[in-house]
Structure 1
C-alpha cells in the first residue's frame, strides 16, 4: 500500500515537513528584511530536507509503487553545499556589516560541478531507447554507481572537514572579539551555534564511520543508515528553530574594525620602553569606573566607555589591555564582582536575592554573574556568601 506510514517513514516525513515550514518562514523573512543569515539558514534547511527524500520516499513504498522513478539521478551529495553554507551563515551572523561578495560563489564550485554532472548523465540516459521503462540508465549504473560515487566520497569527506575547521576558527575568533568589546557577553555568545557545530561535527564523524563500515566490513541496509538521516534532520531543525527565533541583527550592525596595537596582555611589561597610553588616560578611565561607576550600566560596551572617556575605541582598548593588564570584559566585571562582594558583606542579601544584587551591580543575567564571580573569586556566589556568614 502506498503511501505506507510506518515507524521508519513517519518520523522522517514529520521532520521534513517541519523543516520545510521553517524554510518558508526564513526565506519569507529574508525577502522582507534582506538579512543574509536567514537566506543561508533557509538553504541549509532546504538542502537537509532534500537529502532526506531518498529515505523518506523509500520507506513510504515509493520505489515499489513507481518502479521507473528517476529520483536517483537527483540525489546529489548535499554536504558539499551545506558545509559552505554553514560557514557563510556563521560569518553572516558574527561579521560586522556582512555583504555577499562575488568571490563567495567559489565556495559552491564543487556543488555546481556535481549538479552539472548529474544533469549530464540524466540527459544522456534519457536519450537512450527504453529509458522510460527503467529506473536507472546505462551511465547511472556503469559510471555513477560503479565509480563516481566512491570517488565523490573521497572528495566530500576532506572538503567538509576543511570547512568545519574554518567555521570553528571563525566562531572562536568572534568569541575573542566580543570580550574585547562587551562587558556582558552571555546573550552574544551564541552557545546554540556552538552546540550545532559540535553536533554537526559528530554527525559528520558518525557518517564517515558508517561509510567506512559499509564499504569495507559489511553492507549496511536502509534501516541501518536511517539513523543518520533521522539525527541529521533533528539537529538541523534545531538550528532552524533557534536561528529563526534568535534576533542576531544587532550583531551584524557592530563594528569590530578598530585595531588596537595591543590586543593581548604583555608578558614582559618591564621590557616595554614606551607606554601606548598616557597617565591622564589611565586616570580618566579609573575615575569613570571608581567614581562615576560606569560598570553599573549592564549594556556598557567599549564604544560607550570610550565616548565617556573622550577616547577612540582603539585608544581605550590600549589603556585597558596594557594599562590594566586585562581585556575589556574582565576589566568591567571585576568592578561588578567587587560591588557584589561589598553588598554581600553589608548583608544586602537579606533584602535582595543574589540575582537582584547581581543586577544592582551591572550584571544582566544569572549565568554571566555565576560564571564571572567564580572565575574571579574561585567560588560561586552561594559559596562566597556562606563563608561570609561563617
Structure 2
C-alpha cells in the first residue's frame, strides 16, 4: 500500500496538467485585473471549475483517500457540469457581443450550482453534528439521502443542463457568424475560429462523459481507474483551452457596435408602385456609389461607413442590399472586389504583381478570405481562373 503522495502513471500526468492549467488561471486573472475584459475573468473561472474536479481525482490517485480514509471530500464533489455549462455560454457571449458586461441577471445562470453548494454545506453541517462523524467518511444524510436519491437526480439534471447550454451556445456562435457577414466586408479576423474549436472540445467531452455515465450505470460498473481517461482528457482540454484563450485576442468587438434592426426605407403611406420606384432609386444610387467612389477598395469597410457615404442608416442600407441585391453585406462588397480583380487581370496586372498582391489592391486583407470568396463567387480558384482566361 502506497502512502500519500504517490506519484504514479495515473497521478503524475494529471498533476502536471492541472498545475499548468492553474498557472493559466492566474495569468488570465492578472490580465483581467489590468484590462477588465470580462472574457478573461469568465474563462479563468471556467478553467478553475474544471481544474477543481481534476484536483480531487489527482489527489485520489496520489493516495490521499487511502491514507486519510475519513476525508470528507464526497461532500464537496459537486457535479461541475451545472456550473461549467453556463460558464461556456457566458464566455462565448462575452467574446461575440461588443462591450459585454456581467450583469446581475447573469447570476440566474448559476442558480442550480449555487443551490447545490448550499445543499451540500447543509447536509455536511448536519452530519458533522452527529456522534461519530470524525470516525467515518460519510455521515447519515450523505449515505441515506444524497447518494441514493439526490445523486441520480443530479445526473439527469447535469446532462440536461449541459445539453441545453451547449445547444444555446452553438446557436449563439452560428448567429454571430451570420451577423458579421451583414456588417463587415472582411471577416477573416472576426470569424473567431478559436471559439469554434472551444465548442468542439466541450461537445466532445460532453459526449464522452455521457457515454461513460451510460456504460457505468447500465452495462458495467466503472471503477476509479476506468474513469481516469475522461479526467485525463479534461485536464488536457483545460490546458489547451487556457493556453489558446490566453494567447488569442478575443477583444476585437469591444469597441464596435453592430447591433441594429434592418428597417424598410419605404414609407407605409405610399402606394406599392411608389415603393418599388423608391427601391429602384435606392438600388441605383448604391450601384453608382460603388462604381464611382469604389469604397470596396478599403479593406476595413463596414456597414456603418458605407451607410454614411450613402446618407442612409445602417438598417436602411442593410435592407437595400439584402432585398435589392439579394446578398448579405459581405458578399455584396466582395463581389465588387472580385470584379475589380478580374478587371486587373484583363489589364495584365498579374505580370507585375502576384495574384495575392492584386487581391490586396482590390480590398481583400487576407489570402484565406480572398481564395474562399473568389471560389464561392466564380467556382474557380484564382489560379484556375487566370489559366482559363489565358487559354
Relative to the length of structure 2, the TM-score reads 0.92
2:357 match? 356
Contact 2:279/2:324 (8 A) holds in 1: no
SS in 1 for 2:293: coil
SS in 1 for 2:380: coil
Contact 1:277/1:323 (8 A) holds in 2: no
1:210 match? 212
Indicate yes or no: 2:311 matched with 1:296: no
Match of 1:142 among 127, 141, 144: 144
Alpha-carbon shift at residue 294 of structure 1 (Å): 1.1
Q: Distance in 2 between matches of 1:118 and 1:353?
A: 66
Contact 2:190/2:252 (8 A) holds in 1: no
1:268 match? none
Q: Distance in 2 between matches of 1:36 and 1:272?
A: 50
1:339–1:144 Cα change, 3 Å:
same
CA deviations on 1:233-284 (whole Å, 9 max, x unpaired) are 2223322222222223231332223211369xxxxxxx98724955554344
Q: Any residues of structure 2 matched to 1:181-196 within 5 Å, and which?
A: 181-196=183-198
CA deviations on 1:33-77 (whole Å, 9 max, x unpaired) are 222111111110010000112221111122222222222211111
Match of 1:223 among 210, 221, 225: 225
Q: Any residues of structure 2 matched to 1:266-345 within 5 Å, and which?
A: 274-275=275-276, 277-345=278-346
1:104 match? 106
Q: Any residues of structure 2 matched to 1:3-22 within 5 Å, and which?
A: 3-22=5-24
Contact 1:276/1:319 (8 A) holds in 2: no
Q: Distance in 2 between matches of 1:276 and 1:63?
A: 79
Number of aligned pairs? Answer: 383
2:268 match? none
Indicate yes or no: 2:93 matched with 1:91: yes
Q: Any residues of structure 2 matched to 1:256-267 within 5 Å, and which?
A: 256-261=258-263
Structure 1: 5+ residue runs without aligned partners?
Answer: 264-270
Match of 2:36 among 20, 34, 37: 34
Q: Distance in 1 between matches of 2:298 and 2:20?
A: 41
Q: Distance in 2 between matches of 1:273 and 1:228?
A: 65
1:231–1:349 Cα change, 3 Å:
farther
Q: Distance in 1 between matches of 2:390 and 2:199?
A: 44
Q: Distance in 2 between matches of 1:18 and 1:55?
A: 16
Q: Distance in 2 between matches of 1:153 and 1:248?
A: 33
Q: Distance in 2 between matches of 1:328 and 1:303?
A: 11
Contact 1:87/1:163 (8 A) holds in 2: yes
SS in 2 for 1:222: coil
Q: Distance in 1 between matches of 2:247 and 2:343?
A: 38
Q: Distance in 2 between matches of 1:298 and 1:214?
A: 55
2:236 match? 234
Contact 1:95/1:251 (8 A) holds in 2: yes
Relative to the length of structure 1, the TM-score reads 0.92
Q: Distance in 1 between matches of 2:374 and 2:166?
A: 33
1:9–1:350 Cα change, 3 Å:
farther
1:251 match? 253
Q: Distance in 1 between matches of 2:277 and 2:243?
A: 46
1:244–1:34 Cα change, 3 Å:
same
1:267 match? none
Structure 2: 5+ residue runs without aligned partners?
Answer: 266-271
Q: Distance in 1 between matches of 2:215 and 2:200?
A: 23
2:153 match? 151
CA deviations on 1:302-339 (whole Å, 9 max, x unpaired) are 11111222222112112212222211100000011112
Cα-Cα RMSD: 2.1
